[in-house]
A and B are shown apart, each in its own frame.
Chain A
Amino acid sequence: EPEVTQTPSHQVTQMGQEVILRCVPISNHLYFYWYRQILGQKVEFLVSFYNNEISEKSEIFDDQFSVERPDGSNFTLKIRSTKLEDSAMYFCASSWRQGGMKDEQYFGPGTRLTVT
């Protein structure tokens, strides 16, 4: 069964450094998402992406964050200057291939980001 993959599984970085989290959505899916989960808290929506542009973003997704689909398979989340409070599990998700059902987002296994 096709699945969303994410790399790396764990990223440790120093405060102020830039990080790029990578995701490979399910092939032929058209919607892509990033969510985060701070330890012990609920999963929060960050951003959705469709047709090569952001379709919706939350208030968390400020100017320090950006997303990109650099090629036909990858979907990335960049944090320009990491803060301690960016430490969290980041989940990528994708949904909807053309002609299929729109009703389910498939989540990747997550990247645990630790900012020191």
Chain B
Amino acid sequence: AQSVTQLGSHVSVSEGALVLLRCNYSSSVPPYLFWYVQYPNQGLQLLLKYTSAATLVKGINDFEAEFKKSETSFHLTKPSAHMSDAAEYFCAVSGDGGYQKVTFGTGTKLQVIP
């Protein structure tokens, strides 16, 4: 079974500051890991994915995440926060193959302070 734990349900950063959203995973098989963003009253948009290739994954809007097997982590970072980054971010995991069900974390709401 796979699961993810997101540390911090709410994170506030100043505009221009580093964004760090934490995610730890648990998986009995090599995981496929994802970060999704959800803007208010909208659907889920894929930011980036890890599928056992490069451990540093770059996504859209300058987001990136690093897969660290030793720490079972897949933290999301962005060097400089923008007001438009304010949204809810979900870490998610899927089993080997990626076509199995996606298990989502509880989400982290990012607030960007001007």
Closest Cβ of chain B to A56, distance in Å, is 6
B side interface size, CB within 8 A: 24
Determine the interface band of chain A, counting residues with CB < 8 A from chain B. 20 to 34
Provide the B32-66 mask, 1 if CB < 8 A to any CB of A, else 0: 10101000001111100101000000000000000
What 1/0 mask marks residues of chain A from 23 to 64 whose CB sits below 8 Å from any chain B CB?
A: 000000001010100000111110010000000101000000
Give the distance in Å from the alpha carbon of A48 to the alpha carbon of B42 in the complex.
22
Q: Interface digits, B84-109 against A, CB 8 Å rule (1 contact, 0 not)?
A: 00000010101001111111111100
Measured in the bound complex, the distance between the Cα atoms of B90 and A75 in whole Å is: 25
Interchain CB contact (< 8 A) of A42 among B45, B101, B106 = B106
How many inter-chain contacts with C-beta < 8 Å in the A-B complex?
61
A101 CB, nearest partner CB in chain B, Å: 7
Known contacts A42-B104, A42-B105, A42-B106, A107 near B44 by CB under 8 Å: yes
Contact (Cβ within 8 A) A104 B46: yes
Query: Taking the complex as formed, is A65 at the interface, i.e. its CB lies under 8 A from any CB of chain B?
Result: no
B-side contacts of A35, CB under 8 Å: 102
Q: How far is the CB of A6 from chain B (nearest CB, A)?
A: 8
Q: How far is the CA of A53 from the CA of B103 in the complex (A)?
A: 21
Kindly provide the distance from the CB of B94 to the nearest chain A CB, expressed in whole angstroms.
Answer: 8
List A residues at the B interface (Cβ < 8 Å).
31, 33, 35, 41-45, 48, 56, 58, 91, 93, 95-96, 101-110
Q: Which of B42, B46, B97, B101 meets A45, CB within 8 Å? A: B101
Report B88 CB to chain A, min CB distance, Å.
Answer: 10
B residues in contact with A48, CB < 8 Å: 100-101
Expressed in whole angstroms, the minimum distance between the Cβ of A1 and any Cβ of chain B is: 12
Is A56 in contact with B107, judged by CB distance below 8 angstroms?
no
A24 to B32 Cα, complex, angstroms: 25
